[in-house]
Amino acid sequence: MNLALNTDAATLSPIALFLQADWVVKLVMLGLLFASIWTWAIILTFLFRLGGVRKSIDRFEKEYRAADDIDAFYRMRGDGETAAARVFSAGVAEWRRSTKRKPVDREGTRERLGTVMGAAVANEIDQLADRLNILATVGSVAPFVGLFGTVWGIMRSFTAIAGEQSTSLAVVAPGIAEALFATAIGLFAAIPAVIAYNRYSHRINGIEARLNRFADGFHTTLSRQLDSGQ
């Protein structure tokens, strides 16, 4: 007499839940799944990219402090391969352009040097922070999208309940489970996105501060050179 339902792994697996769902819920689930994949791709990309940037800045600053002659160092490392090197070469290039003609306008040169290097830093940060907005969007929107899928699925299963004139758990449960799966995927995509967004925002702020400090230091050096040299 015991006809216990086989509703364990067979019917509650993600694949089965997806296949049973309404097409709207299916669409939501697919979209959230792609959002999740995209999020994790961005997380992995940032993991390697930010680590590399930090290491390159460390190395460049070390070599910069060790260097005696800025021109010689520019010839050696002014290729613009790393973020700090690009800021450095932007400063050196502006210095050369401004000091080409005599007499040198010191105030104007200082101002231009500051502007150019500030722009270089901002450019680097913009490139680094590219796609970070996607993490923010997924983190804030994915739960709502999942909730939409859930609400839609539950509405649909309530309609089915009304149609079958039955309120037993066996009738209600599959539809609810299938609907809640949409929210689960939404949270599954959103939680890592929010965590990664906060973490990477913090690290990019740190990188920006370091680049700015380096640019300030280099600006000070050039400014001193301007006063003494010419």
Partner 1 sequence: MNRGEASAIAVAALGHVILFGLLSAGFAAAPNPMELKSKPIDVSLVDAVAIESAAPTAIEPPAKSIAPDTGKPSDAPPPASAEVSDPAPESPAPEKAPAAKTSDTPAPEKPKPKPASEKSDSSKTASHKAPSRKTEKSTPTKSEGKAKAKPDKPRGSRLGDDFLKGITDNGEGKSTSPRAEKISNTIVAGLADAIQRQVQPCANRITNPGPGANEITSKLRIQMNRDGSLAAKPQLRGQSGVNGENRRYAQRVAELAMSAFIACAPYDLPAEYYDVGGQGWKDIILNYKLPG
Where does this chain bind partner 1 (CB under 8 A)? Answer: 1-9, 12-16, 33, 36-45, 48-49, 164-171
d(CA 60, CA 83): 9
Return the closest-CA partner of residue 161 out of 171, 151, 148, 173. Answer: 171
Minimal distance, residue 125 CB to partner 1, in Å: 18
Q: Name the token pair of 210.
A: 């370091």
Secondary-structure breakdown of the chain: helix, strand, coil percentages, each rounded to the nearest 5:
85, 0, 15
d(CA 76, CA 67): 10
Nearer to partner 1, 39 or 109 (CB): 39
Minimal distance, residue 86 CB to partner 1, in Å: 17
Q: What secondary structure does DSSP assign to 70-94, as a single string?
A: HHHHHHHHTT--SHHHHHHHHHHHH
Residue recorded with tokens 């000091």: 99
Give the N- to C-terminal CA distance of the chain in Å, as an integer: 102
Give the CA angle between residues 188, 14, 165 to the nearest 5°.
110
Nearer to partner 1, 66 or 170 (CB): 170
Cis amide leading into 143 (omega within 30): no
CB 57 within 8 A of CB 83: yes
Minimal distance, residue 186 CB to partner 1, in Å: 14
Nearer to partner 1, 2 or 228 (CB): 2
Nearer to partner 1, 19 or 76 (CB): 19
Nearer to partner 1, 37 or 209 (CB): 37
Nearer to partner 1, 70 or 138 (CB): 138
Minimal distance, residue 4 CB to partner 1, in Å: 5
Minimal distance, residue 39 CB to partner 1, in Å: 8
Minimal distance, residue 13 CB to partner 1, in Å: 4
